[in-house]
Each structure stands twice: as structure tokens, then as C-alpha cells.
């Protein structure tokens, strides 16, 4: 595998048995809107992984990614070899490929896994397949507002609706001098019940942007044309 070549997810992904039968585990698939993923389904083995996928889907810097990939062979302190299957193999648009482990923070600390992951990191980079190794826990993934906004925009990307509605949103925003609250934009658009849906889809398409990304996408959120920001 070329280190800069887009990765492709498969069903089932290599090394992943989504219908695992394990108790207290939620598994399934999320449809990807990434062109680099060929719009395929991405598997997850926990709700935390599902939430991480939401962040990947909403990240414009991510070119492509897949659930699991070929095993990384690493050696422990006794010289014994082990196989590590990355939770995610992520390729950024700048060509950086990242080996990602998704794990609850409490489990990492309770089982004292950081020394193990340090050895995995060393092996992953030495393999020539990855530039970096990253650990993502619930502390990074489940920040309420960023995750909520990502999920909402992802719904907008998957939503099948008349794209002329986005044209109405853009026109209404221009009439508002290029910036206003979503509440005002909905009223100006004349789209009635479908107005919020159209605004979210326009945000998902990056045709309009949020004035402050730290705020939740709701009626009080200010949005703008990109040229105005």
C-alpha cells in the first residue's frame, strides 16, 4: 500500500467482524459521503467509534479513511511479536496517513495501555505505512457541540432534497447583506417547514459558513457567505 494512496473501505473490512455477538457492544455501519471512500459503508464496533466516524466525515482535511487495515506487527519488551489491527486508517489531504486507535479514556488508564501503544506507534511508523499514530478517546471525540454539529451536517450531506432550496438560502443570505442568524435566514428564505433542513444542507455543502464554529447550529447561530467571513 502506498503511503499517500487513498484508502478504500470494504464490507466487511479486513479483520473486522461487525456482527461480533459480544455483549455490551453496539456494532453497525455508517454511510460515507467521502469521494475518497467511494461512498461506501464504514463499519464500527462501538458507539465511540461511530461518533469518531461522524468527526471524520465532517473533516474537510480528511481525504479518505477505512475501518481497520492490514495488521501492524510490533514487538514487546521480551521480543515476542504481536499483531495490532488499527481501528482506523486515515489519509489527510496533505498526504499524511494516520494509524488511529479509538478507546475509552478510562479503559486506557485502568489497563495502563499507554506503554503498549507507544510500542505500537513505533512499529506503525517504522513499517513505512503511517506517518503518525493517534489515540482518540471519549474526551476528544465526545465534545458535545463539535460532535452535534458534525452529526447535523452529516445528515445534511446524506439528505436527498431539492437543491434549489440551497439556492433560496444563498439568495436570502445575500439579501441580508451576507450575514444573519439562522432564524432570520429561515424566515427570509420562504421555505417554511423545510427551511432549517435547507440551511443545514447548505452548511454541509460549505456553501455558507458559521460565524463562530464554537457555537451549536441552532436558530441563534449566525451564518454567513464564505466571502463575507
Residues 142-151: pLDDT tens digits? 999 999 999 9
DSSP one-letter code for 213: T
Mean per-residue pLDDT, 166-184? 95
Say whether 182 sits in a helix, a strand or coil: helix
- Identify the CA nearest to 7 among candidates 80, 72, 74, 99: 99
Return the axis-axis angle of helices 47-58 and 144-158, rounded to nearest 10°: 70
Say whether 158 sits in a helix, a strand or coil: helix
pLDDT at 20 > cutoff 90? no
Say whether 92 sits in a helix, a strand or coil: strand
Residues linked to residue 136 through DSSP beta bridges, in sequence order: 102
Mean pLDDT score across all residues of the chain: 89
Confidence band, pLDDT 50/70/90 cuts, at residue 7: low
Residues 182-228: pLDDT tens digits? 999 999 999 988 899 999 999 999 999 999 999 999 999 999 997 54
Residues linked to residue 99 through DSSP beta bridges, in sequence order: 89, 133
**Whether 182 contacts 173, CB under 8 Å:** no
Burial of 44 (C-beta count, 10 Å sphere; 0-12/13-18/19+) = buried
- 218: Cβ contacts below 8 Å, ≥ 6 apart: 182
**What does residue 172 show for φ and ψ, rounded to 5 degrees?**
-65, -35
- The pLDDT > 70 percentage for the chain reads 87
Q: What is the pLDDT of residue 99?
A: 98
**How far apart are alpha carbons 224 and 130 in whole angstroms?**
38
Q: Where are the beta strands (DSSP E) in 35-139?
A: 41-44, 62-67, 72-75, 81-84, 88-92, 97-102, 132-136
Region of poorest pLDDT, from 18-27, 119-128, 201-210: 18-27
Amino acid at each position: 500500500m502506498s503511503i499517500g494512496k487513498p484508502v478504500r473501505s470494504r464490507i466487511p473490512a479486513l479483520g473486522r467482524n461487525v456482527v461480533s455477538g459480544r455483549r455490551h457492544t453496539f456494532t453497525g455501519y455508517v454511510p460515507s459521503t467521502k469521494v475518497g471512500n467511494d461512498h461506501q459503508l464504514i463499519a464500527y464496533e462501538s458507539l465511540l467509534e461511530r461518533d469518531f466516524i461522524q468527526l471524520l466525515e465532517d473533516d474537510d482535511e480528511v481525504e479518505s479513511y477505512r475501518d481497520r487495515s492490514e495488521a501492524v506487527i510490533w514487538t514487546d519488551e521480551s521480543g515476542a511479536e504481536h499483531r495490532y489491527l488499527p481501528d482506523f486508517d486515515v489519509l489527510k489531504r496533505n498526504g499524511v496517513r494516520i494509524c488511529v486507535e479509538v478507546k475509552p479514556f478510562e479503559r486506557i488508564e485502568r489497563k495502563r495501555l499507554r506503554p503498549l501503544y507507544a510500542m505500537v506507534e513505533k512499529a506503525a511508523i517504522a513499517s513505512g505505512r503511517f506517518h503518525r499514530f493517534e489515540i482518540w478517546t471519549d474526551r476528544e471525540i465526545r465534545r458535545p457541540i463539535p460532535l452535534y454539529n458534525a452529526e447535523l451536517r452529516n445528515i445534511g450531506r446524506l439528505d436527498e432534497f431539492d437543491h434549489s432550496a440551497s439556492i433560496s438560502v444563498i439568495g436570502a443570505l445575500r439579501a441580508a447583506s451576507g450575514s444573519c442568524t439562522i432564524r432570520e435566514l429561515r424566515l427570509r428564505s420562504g421555505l417554511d417547514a423545510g427551511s432549517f433542513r435547507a440551511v443545514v444542507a447548505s452548511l454541509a455543502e460549505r456553501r455558507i459558513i458559521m460565524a463562530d464554529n464554537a457555537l451549536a447550529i441552532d436558530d441563534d447561530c449566525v451564518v454567513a457567505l464564505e466571502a463575507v467571513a
